[in-house]
A and B are shown apart, each in its own frame.
Chain A
Amino acid sequence: MADAAKSGGRASVGRAGVGRPGVVWALPGALFFVFFAVAPMVLVGALAFTDWDGIGTPSWTGMSNWSRLWDDPETHQAIWLSLILTVLTWVFQTPLALLLGVWAAGRQRNRAVLSAIFFLPLLGSSVALALVWKSLLDPNFGLIADIGPALGFADGDLLGSSKGAFGAILFVTAWQFIPLHTLIYQGGARAIPRSLYDAAAIDGAGTVRQFFSITLPQLRNTIVTSSVIMVVGALTFFDTVLILTKGGPGTDTTIVPYLMYKNGFQAFDLGYASAVATILVVVATTVSLLLVRLTGFAAMRSTREGM
């Protein structure tokens, strides 16, 4: 066993590649990647410079989709809304998920049961969950009709007001995704060696001090991972918006992915929708790369320094 592991790893370099997997082995994966990821992306990039209604051949229009993008107030609003949604999502979800994750990493039995219940939203499909929330938020027949007034929506018309609808999306997505991130943080927190806490306790550090001096720094890489997932997820968020608000009232919850859907599959304006999609790809990639770079995650600096 040890030998096999050795020959598959870096140790085999000196032995003229005996048992080293050839490039050919990467081919199936690479082919799939090219067919189903790279090629579509290149095609979308190309389509963004055409006018195409889904039938016949696309006609080349140069920069016209892009100049339209530049001038279209609906697009500006969508980009702005997407950015706000992303930032607020991170601001709300990260601290909550982090605290819950650290808490859930404890070992008492009641925690296990409680966290199992807490993780339930993870099991439902987004669409089904959004439908449930939609009926809860129905101003005439839903729960919101009764509790709306207490929240400041006298008619229970939460989804009919711009701020209310945006807030509802923020809340429903948080409710749905905080458990996922909690799970990630739970895993991260459980990997922190017990001995660190023991040493801190001997030095007289309390729970709060232990959290800020041990838990948080040790979770640095976990935070980056969770944040990248969260930010890219928020930028590409779609199904809840489709079901809960259809981008409304008016266009006040039309975030970029929904705008892309509207242009692509309702208007069949696939050229313009491709331009919107390209923006999304570029922004999401840039943001996640930046996150990784700025936090030093790429260098994989050890969180175990000094141990």
Chain B
Amino acid sequence: MRIPRSRSTLRASTLAAAVLLVGTALAGCGSGGPGGSDDGSLDVWVYQDASTKVQREVVKRFNETSGIKVKLTQVPGEGYSDKMRTSMGTPNAPDVFFNWGGGSISDFVKKDMLLDLDPAMAKDAGLKKAFIPTILDAGAIDGKHYGIPMRGMQPVILFYNKDVFEDAGARPPKSWDDLLKLIDTFKGKGVAPFALAGTDAWTELMWVEYLVDRYGGAGVFQKVQSQSMAAWDDPAVLKAAQTVRDLVGRGAFGKNYKSVNYTADGASTLFAKGKAAMHLMGSWEYANQKANQPAFAKSGLGWTTFPAVPGGSGDPKSVVGNPTNYWSVNAKVKGDKQKAAIEFVKFAAKQDYSKDLIANGDVPTTSDATSLLAEHENPDYARFQYDMVKQAPDFTLSWDQALPAKYTPPLHTAVQKLFNGQLSPAGFVDVLKGM
């Protein structure tokens, strides 16, 4: 360098100072986030939405009784999965966190990042009995429990529009034959038999899940989940795919389902406005309609179960959907903090918590919630949902939640192509097997 020495040292030191400043600022980002919790508190992450207030309440109650306090971080819903995934395995990981069970945590389980809660359940017999067994098990991985149910149940329900049915003099379908006849009836009236948000493949997936369950029982998907993708080669899967093509061919979903969305309320509005007669959707459809079309939610919304299919061996009482959400505990939490974490997740089994859930419009997953259901704003709907789930011999977790994340996009693409006619039923099975 040709700069006189004195000036160059001056510049160099200024620069060094600047670099140091930037460096500390960056380092600050690393340790200043949630977690790291060297202050002895428990970091709890929850998915932020309208139901978060139930978790805020429980944290308040817990902190009144416990020496180790809980610090609740509400993570905005949109980026929850990404954030959880990128934080696990770093010092910023939460101690206790909200998840969907199944595939959303299976990678963590594989890397021994989560605490096996079976010993805690063995110690406290009441804890395991507190929840509906199918729901507790739906969150298990390889038979071990890593999650405590902490939100309402979300089975997929066949909703119908009472007014449209009345106009057509129709009754909700009890059998597959009824359902096929209804398709013709509503088509004749110029109404789409089913609302379907085809832009979002997960809505179409619900059909495939129910059809496979009805044709071959819950075992078909359990085999895929526990063994391999080759297990898609079950006749029930092909049969379900053929039925989808048949339904599309009959015009069951109307003509432009391919560009109808769910997230921007496309399908639900069609359904509420009477442009579609039925809608196969998760139980949250009720809350959604209540928010956007309150009059319809109050008097026009009907619900029933998904019918059996001819020749199907599955139990028509079985349910698909999202059993609930779970609390999981980070395996790195040890000693007293671990005890406190377990105490905290046990709060979800208490009746106070169930009451908060009901007040929020959710249906709790605790096995003794029956008496509480009358307090729900729509007791009939709450009871229907609760009984449907409680009596179900199997509750299949939505496939895209149950399988590890890497299968979600190919599964969604294949289902969408099947509905669009870009894949034949046999081709659909081949794609699933090849995932």
Q: Hey, which bits of chain A sit against chain B, CB under 8 A?
A: 16-17, 20, 22-25, 27-28, 31, 53-56, 74, 134-135, 137-141, 155-161, 245-246, 248-252, 262-263, 265-269
Residues of A within 8 A of B409 (CB): 262-263, 266-267
Q: Across the interface, do B89 and A246 meet the contact criterion of CB distance under 8 Å?
A: no
Counting chain A CB atoms within 10 Å of each CB, the highest count among B3, B82, B256, B413 belongs to B256
Query: When A and B form their complex, which 5 residue pairs have the shortest distance between CB atoms, in order from nearest?
Result: A160-B258, A157-B256, A17-B2, A159-B259, A139-B256
Tell me the bound Cα distance from A19 to B141 in angstroms.
Answer: 69
Q: Across the interface, do B266 and A140 meet the contact criterion of CB distance under 8 Å?
A: yes
Q: Can you offer 11 A-B residue contacts whose CB atoms are under 8 A?
A: A17-B2, A20-B2, A23-B1, A28-B15, A134-B264, A248-B258, A250-B416, A250-B417, A251-B413, A265-B82, A267-B408
Q: Across the interface, do A55 and B420 meet the contact criterion of CB distance under 8 Å?
A: no
Q: Across the interface, do B270 and A140 meet the contact criterion of CB distance under 8 Å?
A: yes
Tell me the bound Cα distance from A307 to B243 in angstroms.
Answer: 75
B8 at the A/B interface (Cβ < 8 Å)? yes
**Contact count A vs B, C-beta below 8 Å:** 116
B12 at the A/B interface (Cβ < 8 Å)? yes
Residues of A within 8 A of B423 (CB): 250
Taking A55-B111, A157-B259 as known contacts, 14 extra A-B pairs with beta carbons closer than 8 A to each other, sorted by chain A number, are A22-B2, A24-B3, A24-B11, A28-B15, A28-B19, A55-B107, A138-B260, A156-B256, A160-B259, A248-B258, A249-B420, A266-B405, A268-B405, A269-B406
Residues of B within 8 A of A248 (CB): 199, 201, 258, 416, 420
B255 at the A/B interface (Cβ < 8 Å)? yes
Tell me the bound Cα distance from A46 to B257 in angstroms.
Answer: 42
Q: Across the interface, do A267 and B405 meet the contact criterion of CB distance under 8 Å?
A: yes
Q: Hey, which bits of chain B sit against chain A, CB under 8 A?
A: 1-3, 8, 11-12, 15, 18-19, 82, 85-86, 88-89, 107-108, 111, 113, 198-201, 255-261, 264, 266, 269-270, 275, 404-410, 413, 416-417, 420, 422-423
Question: Which residue of the partner chain B has the closest CB to A134?
Answer: B264
Tell me the bound Cα distance from A263 to B410 in angstroms.
Answer: 9
Residues of B within 8 A of A159 (CB): 199, 258-259
A191 to chain B, nearest CB (A): 38
Residues of A within 8 A of B406 (CB): 53, 267-269
Q: Across the interface, do B422 and A250 meet the contact criterion of CB distance under 8 Å?
A: yes
Question: Which residue of the partner chain A has the closest CB to B3?
Answer: A22
Q: Across the interface, do A246 and B199 meet the contact criterion of CB distance under 8 Å?
A: yes
Question: Which residue of the partner chain A has the closest CB to B82?
Answer: A265
Q: A23-B1, A249-B416 are in contact. Are A137 and B259 (CB under 8 A)?
A: yes
Pick the contact of A24 from B15, B89, B201 — CB < 8 Å?
B15
Question: Which residue of the partner chain A has the closest CB to B417?
Answer: A250
B199 to chain A, nearest CB (A): 6
Tell me the bound Cα distance from A23 to B270 in angstroms.
Answer: 65
Q: Across the interface, do B413 and A54 meet the contact criterion of CB distance under 8 Å?
A: no
Question: Which residue of the partner chain B has the closest CB to A158?
Answer: B259
Tell me the bound Cα distance from A250 to B85 in angstroms.
Answer: 27
Residues of A within 8 A of B420 (CB): 160, 248-250
Pick the contact of B258 from A55, A135, A249 — CB < 8 Å?
A249
Tell me the bound Cα distance from A38 to B132 in angstroms.
Answer: 53
Q: Across the interface, do A135 and B264 meet the contact criterion of CB distance under 8 Å?
A: yes
Q: Across the interface, do B111 and A56 meet the contact criterion of CB distance under 8 Å?
A: yes
Q: Across the interface, do A155 and B405 meet the contact criterion of CB distance under 8 Å?
A: no
Q: A53-B405, A250-B413 are in contact. Are A22 and B15 (CB under 8 A)?
A: no
Q: A53-B107, A53-B405, A249-B416 are in contact. Are A28 and B18 (CB under 8 A)?
A: yes
Tell me the bound Cα distance from A24 to B9 in angstroms.
Answer: 10
Tell me the bound Cα distance from A160 to B198 in angstroms.
Answer: 9
Residues of B within 8 A of A266 (CB): 405, 408-409
Tell me the bound Cα distance from A287 to B5 in angstroms.
Answer: 45
Q: Across the interface, do A22 and B11 meet the contact criterion of CB distance under 8 Å?
A: yes
Q: Across the interface, do A56 and B405 meet the contact criterion of CB distance under 8 Å?
A: no
Counting chain B CB atoms within 10 Å of each CB, the highest count among A55, A141, A265, A269 belongs to A55
Residues of B within 8 A of A249 (CB): 198, 258-259, 416, 420, 422
Tell me the bound Cα distance from A265 to B84 in angstroms.
Answer: 12
Question: Which residue of the partner chain B has the closest CB to A261?
Answer: B409
A88 to chain B, nearest CB (A): 21
Tell me the bound Cα distance from A10 to B113 in angstroms.
Answer: 61
Q: A16-B2, A249-B420, A267-B405 are in contact. Are A139 and B413 (CB under 8 A)?
A: no
Q: Across the interface, do A141 and B85 meet the contact criterion of CB distance under 8 Å?
A: no
Residues of A within 8 A of B198 (CB): 160, 249
Tell me the bound Cα distance from A140 to B58 in angstroms.
Answer: 43
Question: Which residue of the partner chain A has the closest CB to B11?
Answer: A24
A110 to chain B, nearest CB (A): 39
Question: Which residue of the partner chain A has the closest CB to B7?
Answer: A22
Q: Across the interface, do B275 and A140 meet the contact criterion of CB distance under 8 Å?
A: yes
B249 to chain A, nearest CB (A): 16
B267 to chain A, nearest CB (A): 9
Tell me the bound Cα distance from A28 to B15 in angstroms.
Answer: 8
Question: Which residue of the partner chain A has the closest CB to B86?
Answer: A54
Tell me the bound Cα distance from A74 to B15 in angstroms.
Answer: 49
Q: Across the interface, do B107 and A138 meet the contact criterion of CB distance under 8 Å?
A: no
Question: Which residue of the partner chain B has the closest CB to A21?
Answer: B3
B4 to chain A, nearest CB (A): 9
Q: A24-B8, A250-B417, A267-B408 are in contact. Are A141 and B269 (CB under 8 A)?
A: yes
Q: Across the interface, do A24 and B12 meet the contact criterion of CB distance under 8 Å?
A: yes
B5 to chain A, nearest CB (A): 12
Question: Which residue of the partner chain B has the closest CB to A154?
Answer: B255
Q: A53-B107, A141-B269, A267-B406 are in contact. Are A155 and B3 (CB under 8 A)?
A: no
Tell me the bound Cα distance from A156 to B422 in angstroms.
Answer: 20
Tell me the bound Cα distance from A54 to B90 in angstroms.
Answer: 11
Residues of A within 8 A of B255 (CB): 155, 157
A38 to chain B, nearest CB (A): 17
Tell me the bound Cα distance from A135 to B259 in angstroms.
Answer: 11
Residues of B within 8 A of A28 (CB): 15, 18-19
Residues of B within 8 A of A246 (CB): 199-200
Q: Across the interface, do A160 and B256 meet the contact criterion of CB distance under 8 Å?
A: yes
B2 to chain A, nearest CB (A): 4
Q: Across the interface, do B3 and A17 meet the contact criterion of CB distance under 8 Å?
A: yes
Tell me the bound Cα distance from A139 to B82 in angstroms.
Answer: 32
Residues of B within 8 A of A31 (CB): 19
Q: Across the interface, do A141 and B266 meet the contact criterion of CB distance under 8 Å?
A: yes
